[in-house]
A and B are shown apart, each in its own frame.
Chain A
Amino acid sequence: MGPSGAGKTSLLEAIAGLRRATGRIAVPGETLLDSAAGVDLPAEKRRIGYVPQDSLLFPHLTVEDNVRFGLAKNGPAAARLFDEVVGILEIGDLLPRYPATLSGGERQRVALARALATRPRLLLLDEPLAALDVALRGRILPYLLRVRDEMRIPFLYVTHNAGEALLLARAVLLLREGRVLASGPVGDVLAAHRVETVDPSASFDNIFDGVLERAPEGDGVGRLATPRGTVLLVPVDPSFPLGRAVFSVAPEDVLLSVRPLEGISARNVFEGIVAGVDRFPSDAIVHVTAGDLAWRAHLTAGSVKDLGLAPGRRVWIAVKTQAFRRLR
């Protein structure tokens, strides 16, 4: 993570061998680059999968030929690997199509499948969701989780989005101006460097995990019980299983009030305390603690001023059920 221009993409390109670099880059069992020792493995020998932000599919090849591009020639092992990545990323129906006819989300899945088909030892993902709108992000994330958990391929993931980091990563590396500013467990680094990680143009989603149950409130609504007992009313799709689930809600969809809320249509209303305010020139992210949950609300600078929002202030949060999106 890190602000624009911090060197995130350059770092990935250096690891992939697509950019000249000096220093030392090693993966368990092999040194990829060691300027002092004169080692510089060419990109094609590094076995590192690279998924750029804009997919970069080969426009002259079908989806199938894109995925097969780096696949070792024929043989039953190659066929199995091909079937596995096509299955995990659910691109079977797309195979005969050309990239120009795919949506942004489909392209990213194909780019991911193409990289996985080479059985890389490490996957580099450069803001794979940045080009997608918020609704689509929620649909791609489960595929990334499957790659991580089913194929057991480690990845380095560049993002501006704290929610994605919390959901996907074990550790985070925070860059600024080409240097490592902080590294460590995701929660710790994000808590200590909140402002550094926020790109005003990127959404800073609220992520909640818990156990999903069908609710007595009626069809299409479920109850998500968080580990410490807060219950959120969320939309449910009949095709998704109940049980362990993760939902996100965009900070734009979190409303704040300085008076108790009554007679409001939003079904999730909680009383909380402002924990902090990250100010930007025209807007702000307000952090609110309510029971066991931490919320982030995206407000204009004017609202923050008019409501007198400052740490310690008592507020009420309101979120519509339909504002929640299921991540898994």
Chain B
Amino acid sequence: MTREDFSILLLTLRVASISTLVILPLGVAAGWALSRGRGAVKQIAETILALPLVLPPTAVGLLLLEMLRRSGPIGRLLDRAGVEVLFTWKAVALATAVMSFPLLVRPVRAAFAEVDPRLLGVARSLGQGRFSVFRRVALPLAWRGILAGAVLAFSRALGEFGATILVAGNIPGRTQTLALAIFHRTQIGQDGSALRLVGVVVALAFLAILATETLERRRSRSAGAPA
């Protein structure tokens, strides 16, 4: 690995970590709400959340670009606050956050749905308010699902390409992540160095999948109870 490869890897890991940490509390809240809610509102919310999974990433990227450009609805506010997002690492984090959010929410929602609502009722009858019941019963019983969702979202963030290239461009040293660098190097005929990065990506993906599988296996074996 060259120095440049290494800095690309670091940038990718940093941006994916920030993106995952930012969406984690939001994803837990959304997963909890979706697991408890019912009716049309829940259906609509679920559909909107699932959109980034089915839309072409470039379409999501273009929508983000339109919102964030100086004349766009969010861009205007950011401009006034003096925050620059487009074509910086923040844009990479934002694009990966949006693209990986549904992958976080799904396992989180499934984990919360597995928690017996009667268990939560008993907790309330023991004098605990809703937040305390969430923190002391629902969260500890669902933590493996939450962790699995976070690993999944992190892996998705590592490989995000389509949305990222539209809002962040492909600026070496600033916004060029592993996925962008691989594309870029093949475009300029450096297949060998691109393959080196592919090796790095494969290693990362391997570790992420291994972590998820291990968590899943432990979850199904102990069915929520610590050994």
Contact pattern, B 105-119, Cβ under 8 Å of A = 1, otherwise 0:
000000000001011
Q: Closest residue to B140 on the A side, CB-wise?
A: A60
Contact with B along A10-45 (1 / 0, CB 8 A): 000100111000000000000000000000001111
Q: Judging by beta carbons under 8 Å apart, are B126 and A59 in contact?
A: no
Which residues of A are found within 8 Å of B118, using beta-carbon distances? Answer: 18, 52, 56
A49-B125 in contact (CB<8A): yes
- Kindly report which residue of chain A lies nearest to residue B226, judged by CB atoms: A60
Task: Say yes or no: A18 contacts B140, CB within 8 Å.
Answer: no
* CB of B26 closer than 8 Å to a CB of A: no
Contact, CB under 8 Å: A59 / B123: no
Tell whether A98 pairs with B124 under 8 Å between CB atoms, given A56-B119, A58-B119: no
CA distance A52 to B123 in the complex (A): 12
B residues within 8 A CB of A115? 125-126
**B190 lies within 8 A of chain A by Cβ:** no
Which residues of chain A come closer than 8 Å to B141, judged between CB atoms? 59-60
Whether A99 lies near B225 (C-beta < 8 A) is: yes
Q: Which of A52, A56, A59, A118 contacts B127 (CB 8 A)?
A: A118
B140 CB to nearest chain A CB (Å) = 5
B126 touches A70 (CB 8 A): yes
Type the 1/0 row for A161-195, where 1 means its CB is closer than 8 Å to any CB of B. Answer: 00000000000000000000000000000000000
Q: A58-B137, A60-B226 are known contacts. Are A69 and B124 too (CB-CB below 8 A)?
A: no
Q: Are A69 and B224 in contact (CB under 8 A)?
A: no
Interface contact B125-A44, CB-CB below 8 Å: yes
Verify if A112 is at the interface (C-beta below 8 Å from B): no
Q: Inside 8 A of B129's CB, which chain A residues have their CB?
A: 42, 44
Contact for A18 among B116, B121, B128, B223, CB less than 8 A? B121
The interface size of chain B toward A, counting residues with CB under 8 Å, comes to: 20
A49 to B169, CA, bound (A): 60
- B121 contacts A43, CB within 8 Å? yes
In the assembled complex, the Cα of A270 lies from the Cα of B104 at a distance in Å of 72
Q: Does A46 contact B (CB under 8 A)?
A: yes
Chain A residues numbered 49-65 whose CB sits less than 8 Å from any CB in chain B: 49-50, 52, 56, 58-60
Residue B36, interface by CB 8 Å: no
Q: Mark A69-100, 1 if CB is under 8 A from B, else 0.
A: 11000000000000000000000000000111
Contact A42 B124 (CB under 8 A): yes
Within 8 Å by CB of B124, from A18, A60, A114, lies A18
Q: Taking A58-B119, A59-B141 as contacts, is the C-beta distance between A46 and B226 under 8 angstroms?
A: no
The digit string for B122-142, where 1 denotes a CB below 8 A from any CB of A, is 111111110000001100110
Contacts of A48 in B (CB 8 A): 125
CB <8 Å contact, B124 and A17: yes
Chain B residues whose CB sits within 8 angstroms of the CB of A16 once the complex forms: 121, 125
User: Which A residues lie within 8 Å of B223 (CB)?
Assistant: 59
Alpha-carbon distance between A225 and B127 when the two chains are bound, in angstroms: 46
- Contact B116 A56, beta carbon cutoff 8 Å: yes
Asked whether any CB of chain B lies closer than 8 Å to the CB of A314, the reply is no
A118 to B123, CA, bound (A): 11
Scan B211-227; emit 1 where CB is below 8 A from any A CB, else 0. Answer: 00000000000011110
B218 to chain A, nearest CB (A): 13
**A114-B224 in contact given A52-B118, A56-B118, A69-B136 (Cβ < 8 Å):** no
A46 in contact with B137 (CB, 8 Å): no
CA distance A122 to B125 in the complex (A): 11
B227 and chain A: residue at smallest CB distance? A98
Chain B residues whose CB sits within 8 angstroms of the CB of A137 once the complex forms? none
B121 neighbours in A (Cβ, 8 Å): 13, 16, 18, 43, 50
**Chain B residues whose CB sits within 8 angstroms of the CB of A46 once the complex forms:** 125
Partner of B123, one of A42, A69, A100: A69
Contact A59–B225 (Cβ < 8 Å): yes
The 7 closest A-B pairs by CB, nearest first: A70-B126, A43-B124, A18-B121, A59-B225, A50-B125, A60-B140, A100-B225
Q: B residues within 8 Å of A by Cβ?
A: 116, 118-119, 121-129, 136-137, 140-141, 223-226
Q: A43-B121, A52-B118 are in contact. List 5 more A-B contacts (CB 8 A).
A: A42-B129, A49-B125, A58-B137, A69-B126, A100-B225
A residues contacting B by CB (< 8 A) are 13, 16-18, 42-50, 52, 56, 58-60, 69-70, 98-100, 114-115, 118
